[in-house]
């Protein structure tokens, strides 16, 4: 365990919630920072607030509407139908350009002013949905840039970087929060908590991972019997 505080970039979704409880295990003090950036599924912020309260961590929200206004994408434009699959040779239109770049930059400034040097984010290169700002190379580059920009020694932690969704569910289970992640988080691009709409790319990835994880566990009659309902 680090005898230091950490700041989790916290959306209230599966990945960041798993990271929040990972951070509680790894750091002596944990803070959570959420963003309103014009996302259609803004309900995630209130769910994040509730989860942070259950976790007993400090929770703050930053308004950053510029992120949603700069680009044209299906997560901030209600009139744009979202891609159901990753397009050949490109990124899906659910990609919000610069989102993780802005999140990390704002979080670093927020953390610096509070004497926090550890940042935690739930990005994953294994299940990155074609988003370039979820790759390890970007995170490493951003870490160097933040340190140079603020003459600081930030450390960006990415506990899910090399985990697929089934392994992420397994981590949540080991942390004792599988049910909380399953039922209280919002990953769905259509803003439906828990298992979500079941049709958007985020829901399909989440569900497929959960099914693979549960299939790998010893069968229990009461275990998520309604998964396929």
Q: Is 77 inside a domain boundary?
A: yes
Within-domain flag for 222: no
The answer to whether residue 147 scores a pLDDT higher than 60 is yes
Q: What is the secondary structure of 60-114 as a DSSP string?
A: EEEE-HHHHHHS--TTT-TTSPPPSSPPTTS--TT--TTHHHHHHHHHHHHHHTT
Q: Is 145 exposed, middle or buried (0-12, 13-18, 19+ CB in 10 A)?
A: middle
Give pLDDT tens digits for 155-188: 999 999 999 999 999 999 999 999 999 999 999 9
Mean pLDDT of 70-76: 90
* Domain presence at residue 51: yes
Within 13 A of 13's CA, how many CA atoms are on the CB side? 23
197 in a structural domain: yes
Direct distance between the N- and C-terminal alpha carbons of the chain, in angstroms, rounded to an integer: 41
| Residue 229 forms part of a structural domain | no
**Residue-level pLDDT at 219:** 63
Residue 128 pLDDT more than 80? no
- So what's the pLDDT on residue 227? 54
pLDDT for the residue 225 = 44
Per-residue pLDDT for 109 more than 80?
yes
Instruction: Read off the pLDDT band of 40 (50, 70, 90).
Output: confident
Burial 102-139 (b: 16+ CB within 10 A, else e): bbbbbbbebbbeeebbbbbbbbbbebbeebebbbeebb
Give Cα 69 to chain centroid, integer Å. 21
Q: Does residue 15 belong to any structural domain of this protein? A: yes
What average pLDDT does the segment 42-67 reach? Answer: 96
Instruction: Please name the residue that has the structure tokens 């950053």.
Output: 64
- What dihedral do alpha carbons 21, 168, 99, 41 form, nearest 10°? -80
Whether 227 is covered by a domain: the verdict is no
228 band by pLDDT with thresholds 50, 70 and 90: very low
Residue in this structure with the two tokens 């370039």, named with its chain if needed: 132
Check which CATH number belongs to the domain holding 149 and give it.
Answer: 3.40.50.620
Token code pair at residue 55: 């976790």
Look at residue 46 in the predicted model and tell me its pLDDT.
96
Number of domains in the chain: 1
Q: How confident is the model at residue 13 (pLDDT cuts 50, 70, 90)?
A: very high
Which domain covers residue 44, as residue numbers? 2-216
Residue 157 is assigned to a structural domain of this protein: yes
pLDDT of residue 141 exceeding 80: yes
Q: pLDDT band at 218, cuts 50/70/90?
A: confident
């Amino acid at each position: 365990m680090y005898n230091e505080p950490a700041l989790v970039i916290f959306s209230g979704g599966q990945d960041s919630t798993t990271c929040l409880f990972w951070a509680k295990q790894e750091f002596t003090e944990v803070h959570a920072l959420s963003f309103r950036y014009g996302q259609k599924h803004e309900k995630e912020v209130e769910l994040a607030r509730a989860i942070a309260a259950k976790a007993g961590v400090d929770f703050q929200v930053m308004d950053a509407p510029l992120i949603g206004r700069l680009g044209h994408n299906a997560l901030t434009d209600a009139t744009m139908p979202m891609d159901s699959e990753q397009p050949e040779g490109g990124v899906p239109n659910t990609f919000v350009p610069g989102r993780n770049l802005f999140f990390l930059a704002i979080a670093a400034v927020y953390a610096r002013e509070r004497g926090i040097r550890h940042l935690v984010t739930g990005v994953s290169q294994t299940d990155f949905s074609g988003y370039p700002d979820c790759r390890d190379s970007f995170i490493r580059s951003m870490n160097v840039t933040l340190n140079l920009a603020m003459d600081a020694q930030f450390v960006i932690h990415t506990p899910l970087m090399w985990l697929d969704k089934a392994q992420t569910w397994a981590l949540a289970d080991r942390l004792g929060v599988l049910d909380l992640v399953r039922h209280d988080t919002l990953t769905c691009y259509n803003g439906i908590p828990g298992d979500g709409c079941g049709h958007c790319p985020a829901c399909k990835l989440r569900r497929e991972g959960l099914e693979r994880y549960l299939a790998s566990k010893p069968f229990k009659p009461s275990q998520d019997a309604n998964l396929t309902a």
